[in-house]
Chains A and B, each alone.
Chain A
Amino acid sequence: MEKLGDYCLFSVQALISAVRRPPRSRDVLDQLDALGVQSLLILIATGLFVGMAITIIMEAEMELYGAKVYIGRMLAVATVRELAPVFSALMLAGRVGARIAAELGSMRVTQQIDSIEGLGQDPMQKLVTPRLLALLIMLPALTMIMNLVTLLGGFLVSTVSPGVFWFEARKAFVIRHLSGGLLKPFVFGYLIATIACFLGLRTSLGVRGVGEAAARAVVTSSVAIFLANYVIGFLILKAFGV
């Protein structure tokens, strides 16, 4: 509970720091590249295969009820509301969360963070807020790309005509479906960045501690993503209905 309290305080401080003492644009650009651009290929591959797998299975099931023509809509709703935000976040929690925790953890155990402070810099401004801002920008952008790629994957293996597929898919792009899909990446990005930075900066016990921090960052942020996904999904369902 004490750690949870420390994390909550840290995550709020990170947000305040990002507003009050914005990081240098060069630091943010470096992180946009390292955390976002370099994750693009892996997300495209994930989206493509998820879209293909779901379409093959669901199309066969829906055919039993004579509802195969609605596959585009079904896939688009699932993608926009759940699949793209959650899969993008999970991929980044694995790739980026571990990277951030290991990077900051090894800086902690080799006294590089003490050096940063000794050289008159605030580690929150230098290390945490650039990563937080980068994820708040890149995760929504990557989720958008994931939306398109997942639909494209489904389209490639679907047996319904292209016109019908895209006509039905377009129906998913309404506010009640989009609201969750647009909100979730910001929340997930915030969770991944703050959890990974928090665990990385509190690393101890040398190299072993770095490995543990990286593993814990992935597990904790993944669980936090699922929890937040449920809460947001529930709230949006209450607000907009089915």
Chain B
Amino acid sequence: MLTLRGVDYSIGEKRILQDVHLDVGEQETLAILGASGSGKSTILKIMLGLLRPDRGEVKVLGREITRLPYEQLVELRKRLGIVFQEGALFDSLTVGENVAYYYLEHTSRSHGELEPLVRNMLRTVGLEETMDMMPEELSGGMRRRVAIARALIYEPAVILYDEPTTGLDPLAAGGILELINRLKHQHRVTSVVVTHALDDALTVADRFAILRDGSVVWSGTKRQFSANRKRMLALYYRPAEDRAGVHEGAA
């Protein structure tokens, strides 16, 4: 479904990603683990075509997107969903309008026609009563649930989650992870979750990729990760100066 091959990305002189290789299969959940500033969110933006890599190949749903004309890229994005760190809801629209946004903008369906669908989607994320509220009235966890509903409503083939639990209290974070897992099983949606929280990754992922300083230093299945848990933890937490030359597992 998603493939990155030899992707490099820099901002000016600063190299953000270096020779990144990643694969995400159908109905699979990949967790990209890494500390802040390791380039995790950049990978999501490259998958979505918001950023173009300096080098390498990015295949999304079978299409190479780095050379795709802008109009076609915009069309392709309609088959992807993204949940940003803080939810990134449109603050001038109600919760219901946020969730219905895709259909309001891309179809001629009215608010009235969309109401049952929106209500159902908000019920799925446990927020049916917030339909007429404004985003500023919601807590951080609720905003992210609404963002998930907004991404899910048009049944995208892939959902990308950018740090879905960062800044939330443990209860709200647990709720989001439980929701991601439930959607994975109920909607059979392919997901990519970027996070710095190891426990979050272990809760939702089938596959893992550990990112350090813009490079994937390990990738493999949950079973491989669990079988070598101590080594993986050491790899994840090892200080930067000890990491040179570490490229293990099935990267």
List residues of chain A with CB under 8 Å of any chain B CB.
24, 110-112, 114-115, 117-122, 126
| B80–A118 touching, CB < 8 Å | yes
Among B78, B85, B105, B151, the residue within 8 A (CB) of A111 is B85
Given known A-B contacts A114-B50, A117-B50, A122 and B70 have beta carbons under 8 A apart = yes
The verdict on A117 contacting B77 (CB below 8 Å), with A111-B85, A122-B70 known, is yes
Interface assignment of B82: CB less than 8 Å from any CB of chain A: yes
Closest B residue to A115 by CB, please name it.
Answer: B88
Q: Are A112 and B88 in contact (CB under 8 A)?
A: yes
State the main secondary structure of chain B at its contact with A: mixed
Q: Which residues of B contact A111 (CB under 8 A)?
A: 84-86, 88
List A contacts of B70 (CB < 8 A). Answer: 122
Instruction: Name the residue in B85, B90, B150 with the highest tally of chain A Cβ atoms < 10 Å from its Cβ.
Output: B90
Take A119-B101, A120-B102 as given contacts and tell me if A114 and B75 are in contact as well, using a CB distance cutoff of 8 Å: no
What residues of B have a CB within 8 angstroms of the CB of A126 in the complex?
105
Could you say which residues of chain B place their CB within 8 Å of the CB of A120? 74-75, 77-78, 102, 106
In the complex, whether B125 has a CB less than 8 A from a CB of chain A is no
Q: Contact check, A110 vs B74: say whether CB atoms are below 8 A apart.
A: no
Distance, CA A217 to CA B80, complexed state (A): 34
Contact A118 B90 (CB under 8 A): no
The residue on B at minimum CB distance from A113 is: B88
Chain A residues closer than 8 Å to B150, beta-carbon distance: 119
Q: A111-B85, A111-B86, A122-B74 are in contact. Are A117 and B91 (CB under 8 A)?
A: no
Complex contacts, A112 vs chain B, CB 8 Å? 88-91
B79-106: which residues lie under 8 A (CB-CB) from chain A? 80-82, 84-86, 88-91, 101-102, 105-106
User: B174: shortest Cβ distance to chain A, in Å?
Assistant: 24
Q: Answer yes or no: B48 CB below 8 A from chain A CBs.
A: yes
Chain B, Cβ-Cβ closest to A125: B74
Establish whether residues B90 and A115, one from each chain, have CB atoms under 8 Å apart when the complex forms.
Answer: yes
Cα–Cα, bound, A74→B184 (Å):
75
Residues of B within 8 A of A121 (CB): 74, 105
- Listed from nearest, the 4 A-B pairs whose CB atoms lie closest are A120-B78, A111-B88, A118-B82, A115-B88
A114 and B84 contacting across the interface, CB-CB below 8 Å:
yes
Contact of A118 with B48 in the complex, beta carbons under 8 Å: yes
Question: Which of chain A's residues have a CB closer than 8 A to the CB of B85?
Answer: 111
Within the complex, the shortest CB–CB distance from A23 to chain B, in Å, comes to 11
With A115-B88, A119-B150, A120-B74 already in contact, 13 other A-B pairs whose C-beta atoms are closer than 8 Å: A111-B84, A112-B91, A114-B88, A115-B82, A115-B90, A118-B84, A118-B151, A119-B77, A119-B101, A120-B102, A120-B106, A121-B74, A122-B74
Contacts of B101 in A (CB 8 A): 119
Residue of B nearest to A110 (CB): B88
